[in-house]
Amino acid sequence: MEKLQTALNIQIANWSVLYTKLHRYHWFVKGPHFFTLHEKFEELYNESATVVDEVAERLLASGGTPVATMKEYLNLATLEETKGESGADEMVASLVDDYKHLKQELKALAELSAQQEDDVINDLAVGLLVKVDTHIWMLSAYLGE
């Protein structure tokens, strides 16, 4: 169970870093796609906040303790806080990379939870995989990939 709790805390840290990154993008995006991306980034940071809450509640329900400070998030996260992105396309490309990274970790979480026969965490991980796959597809399409 300890491995599952650690994996859940990594998700909390990553989605918290992603939330902050998306907020930054929302505030600083410029250019001809401002309105579209400004709205999309807001949608994605709201989703990130919801994911953090869902994962933290699952962790608490399973007897764990969720990380809950910025210092803990940054120490535990496997996503980079920033790569200095300034243009809209750089922001979107960075998000594609982040979501691909999350996808790999969510797959590992799904496998681990299946091995430990934790159907609830498995369902959570698989549900997040569906969302992440959709984001990768849509953001990649925006970039013309």
Categorize the per-residue pLDDT at 53 as very low, low, confident or very high, splitting at 50, 70 and 90.
Answer: very high
What are the tens digits of pLDDT across the range 58-90?
A: 999 999 999 999 999 999 999 999 989 999 999
Q: Is the dihedral of CA 81, 86, 92, 97 positive or negative?
A: negative
CB atoms within 10 A of CB 49: 16
Categorize the per-residue pLDDT at 119 as very low, low, confident or very high, splitting at 50, 70 and 90.
Answer: very high
The domain in which residue 50 lies consists of: 2-142
Angle at 81 between CA 9 and CA 1, to 5 degrees: 10
Q: What CATH number corresponds to the domain at position 67?
A: 1.20.1260.10
Assigned token pair, 103: 């996808």
Categorize the per-residue pLDDT at 129 as very low, low, confident or very high, splitting at 50, 70 and 90.
Answer: very high
Angle at 51 between CA 13 and CA 93, to 5 degrees: 70
Domain count, the chain: 1
